[in-house]
Structures are given as structure tokens and as C-alpha cells.
Structure 1
Amino acid sequence: MATLNVPPVPPSPRDDAITLYTAFKGFGCDTSVVVNVLAHRDAIQRAHIQHEFRTMYSTDLLKRLSSELSGKLETAVLLWIHDPAGRDAIILKQCLTVAKNLEAATEVICSRTSSQLQYLRQVYYTRFGVYLEHEIERYTSGDHKKILLSYLTIPRHEGPEVNKEFAEMDAKVLYKAGEKRLGTDEKTFVQIFSERSAAHLTAVNHYYNDMYGHSLKKAVKKETSGNFALALLTIIQFSENPAKYFAKVLRKAMKGLGTDDTKLIRVIVTRAEIDLHYIKAEYLKKYKKTLNDAVHSETSGHYRAFLLELLGPNQ
């Protein structure tokens, strides 16, 4: 369930474009207006506003926002204004080719459904003129590369149906490929984790725990390492409970000295139109503090205001 709060009868895209243009005029930008407009429009509405702005003022809204805003607010707003697939493409391009942030790239790829990834691949090529698979080939390596490529390209069933016998068999196969033998058969882990549905992997984890006394997650931590382990753990945790997975990512972003604002922005912005309501509930349940309060204590100014608008009511 999304947290994005769109007015029942929002202004027309033309009126929003005029409002934004007015906010940009004069000495300094009326940032509050920018936040109040864009934080309450869905992806389709944001696309229409961009089109109207370009038509009316012969300039790109993204460029204007970039010149008027700064710092973390600029980062968050410029990411938010895109549609989900376009946003994921931008994040992956940045992570793979500029920031070399393989952890973030792994998070994005391994926490998207098969259909989302198929569309993302098309958008990536359209936007950047290069295949996402080729970027992964170039910027990753080893078993990490294999799992990302497989997870990205292999179609998976997305329904809740599970063949219990098949799931039990997969649990046994994974045990034989990992904990039962000396050394790990990584190829088997790549195959099962990339070809099976989320519901199936959840069932595999259940049977693994029943038969061997601990979770598949624990086995993965024991048998694999590095970014390969990260990819497998992301897949299994997201399969079981996406909201709980992202609550943990957010906690990690805000825990300790300093805040990982890139991670904080990425999760809130990418999930606000999908399941941020459930992520907030999991965060409260696990950490006994609302996500709104956590974000409020770790951020400030218009940047804080923008994230809190996306988060919705403090509950």
C-alpha cells in the first residue's frame, strides 16, 4: 500500500506547471511550493506536469529543478519526478558506472519482480542506448555477476501458487549443494534463486528450516560471501516479506554515526507509490519507533519536509 497522498481533485498539470514556474521566479526559489506540489502527485501526473512545463516555457522542468534546488533535496526531488522504471534505470546507471555502488545495484535488481525487471531492461536501453545486461557484464564479476544476470533475464512466476513437493526437493538440493558438501556448488544456488517464484522460495526456506534446524538465510551466510551472498540474501528476504526487508534497509541507513542519505532517499522515493505504508508498519513493529520520527531526527529543512510528505501521516 502506497503512502503517496494525492488530492481528490488535483490541479491540472498546466496549473501545476504555472505554480512551479512562479515559485522559481524572483530572488530565490519558493521551495515549500515545489515540495507541496511534487510530493503529492503520482507518476502519471508528474509526467504531465513535465510535458506542460516544456510546452509552456520551452525548458525542461528537470533542468530548472536542478538549478533551483541543491543538496539532498535536489537529489530526492530529481529522483522522485521520474516514473518507477525510469527511476530504477537512473539509479542503476549511477550505481554501476559512476558510484560503483554494487550493494545498491544489487538491492534494486534483486527486489524487483520479474515483470518489473523486463520493463526496466527496455527502459534502460531506450534511455541510455546500452543493454543493462552489458553494463552488469562490465561492472560486476564472478558469481555475483551470474546471479544478477540470471535474476534480471529469467522470467519467473509471480503468483502465490506453490508445489510443496517441488519446494521440499529444492530445499534438499540446496542443502546438498551447500552445507552437506565440502565447498559450495554456487551454480545450483544461482539456478534455484533466479528461476523460482517468491512464494516458492518462501516455501523452500520453510522446508529447509524444518529439515535442517535453521533458515536458508543462515545457510547462505555460512556458504557464500561478498556481493554474491548479498544478492542471495536480498532475494530470499524480499521473497518472504518485502516490507520487513526494506524496514531493515532503512534502519541500516539511519543507524549509528551519520546517515546514509543516498540509501534513505532511494528506499523512500522508490517505495512511496508501492508499499511504504507496510514498510512503516514493519519499522514500528521491529524498532518500536515510527519511521516518520526516525527520518525527522536524521534530516532537516526542506529535505526533511519532502521525505515526510512522501511518508504520509506519522503512524
Structure 2
Amino acid sequence: MTKARKQQISLEATPYYHCVTRCVRRAFLCGEDRQTGQSFEHRRGWIEDRLLELQTVFAIDIAAYAVMSNHYHVVLHVNKAQAESWSELEVVERWQRLFKGTLLTQKFLRKEKLDPAEYDAVSEQVAVWRERLMDISWFIRCTNEFIARKANEEDNCTGRFWEGRFKSQALLDEKALAACMAYVDLNPIRAAMAETPEASDHTSVKARCEKAKAATSPNHKYQQPNTLMPFVGNPREPMPEGLPFKLTAYLELVDWTGRQLRNDKRGVIDSQLPSILNRLEIDIKHWLYMAQHFESRFKGLVGGVCQLKKVCRSLGMSRTPGLSACQYFLA
């Protein structure tokens, strides 16, 4: 039975989520239609641009993404504290970058005088929009509706373009987060669309590699892409806001993993292991398996056993879905 979205996305459990949206049509979302020869490759750019645009509007950071032939992956971080820090005016400004708003909020945005009843109505509306601006479902909706309209217009047709629901996985700890990000960034290599991470078009890892090449201190958060959630180094106190790894360590990990997944390297284990694997205490073979099968092997909640059980209890679940996989690969 399909689970309610609120059981799959709970900020009390974790702010990190892996989301996947797939196209319903026979024709590719991107790539080339083999029957007609028509290329839809430019649509990958549409999706990438839309995702990066929306992260400037929502209180949601993008940790990783990959746009594939008939689906896309994105790892998101919900920044609740950021949304709660916005003034009412900023919430309205952000929302009305995407939608028209109401007559009262348009009046409020123009800084025209409102009577008390009108201001109360605006405040109520702002509270709703503030919640939506840190809601993953609304983030995906604003991405997919925009792309569907453009694709339908280009194809001169109507109807569904995407599956009705996107798939989401809650990433409960560092191990799950690192494994999922690498899985997403390595999608084009597994699909034989690219030979190296830095050559993987329309992925977060390519954007990070290009920025790192030009940086004097690639691990510095202000020398990383401002459209992506920055890497801020290993956990410490006080911990800056960002991904709990060094960028160089993560890129080394992705590059090493990608080389193991290539056909000419199948079954070969490099003796020079990335240090990040040692810190996360993940077995090499387990890591390589997760880098290829993360989406299919794990259920909606992914993390260490203790954290998994804790979150399931907090969500009122009588069972612990995905326990055996998490116990085996992320113990």
C-alpha cells in the first residue's frame, strides 16, 4: 500500500531527502526518440535550470542532482530555520516570484496601507506560504508543472507528462547521505552516458568539479557553487551549515567509485581507498553495491539501525521497514 507523503517526509526525522521523478510517456524526457529521430536533449537543461532557480526561492538546498533520459534525481535539504527567519514581506516576495498571489498580498508588496482585517488576512496567507516554501512536495510540484507545460507546448499535445507521485527516501545519517549523493552523481556513469564524473552533463558533481578547478581553496564554502549546498568539512563544534564532508574528499570518493563501476574495472578493488570511507566505516564491497543499487535496495527511510528504529517509533510505525538492508549495509 502506498504510504502517505507525511510518513515519508518528516523534518523531525531528518532534513535530507532523495527524490526521484519519472516521465510517463513512451518518448524520452530527454535524449533521442529512436522512432522519430527527434532529440529532446535540450530538456535536460530545462530541468537543471529550473531546479537551480527554485533553490533561490524555497528554503530548500540542493545537495546533489542528476538529470537522466526519462527521470531525474535530486537530494534536497530542508532549511526550516531559514524559512522561519524570513519576514512576512520576504515570504510574499519569494512566493510571488512563482505565483501571482492575492490582491491583498500584491497590495502588501507595494507597501500600501492595509486595515487591521486586511493585514490579518495577509498574515494568515503568509503562514501558509511559509510552510509551502519549505515543503519538498511543493518544490517538486513547481519543477514538474513548469517542465510539463513547456514539453506539452513543444510537443503540441496535452495530458500527463510525469508520474503522479515522486519517490522519496529519507536520509537519516551521514552514511546514508554520502551513499545516496554518490549514487545520484554516478547515475550517468552507470548508464554509460559519461566516462567520468566531471564529464557527466547536467549533474551536481560536474558543477562542483568545474568550480573546484578554478578555486584556490576548493574546500572553502565560498569557493564552491552558490547554487548548491556547500561542503563544510567533517563534523565539529560549532558545526557550520552545510554538508558534513570535505569537498575534495567527496570528489575523490566519487571519482574512485566511478572507476570501480566502469566495465573495464569490474571486480577490481583499488588499494588506495578514499579516506572518507574509513571515517564513515563503510565496507568497500557494501559501498560499491550501494553506489549501484541505492534506490532499489532501500525503502523510504535509510540510515543506521539505531537511528532507523528511533525515527520509526517517532512516526508511530509498528514495523521497521528496510531494517535488514540498513542493518547489512549501514550497520
Question: TM-score with structure 1 length normalisation?
Answer: 0.31
Question: TM-score with structure 2 length normalisation?
Answer: 0.30
- Relative contact order (alpha carbons < 8 A, sep ≥ 6): 1 or 2 greater? 1
Structure with the higher fraction of residues in helix conformation: 1
Structure with the higher fraction of residues in strand conformation: 2
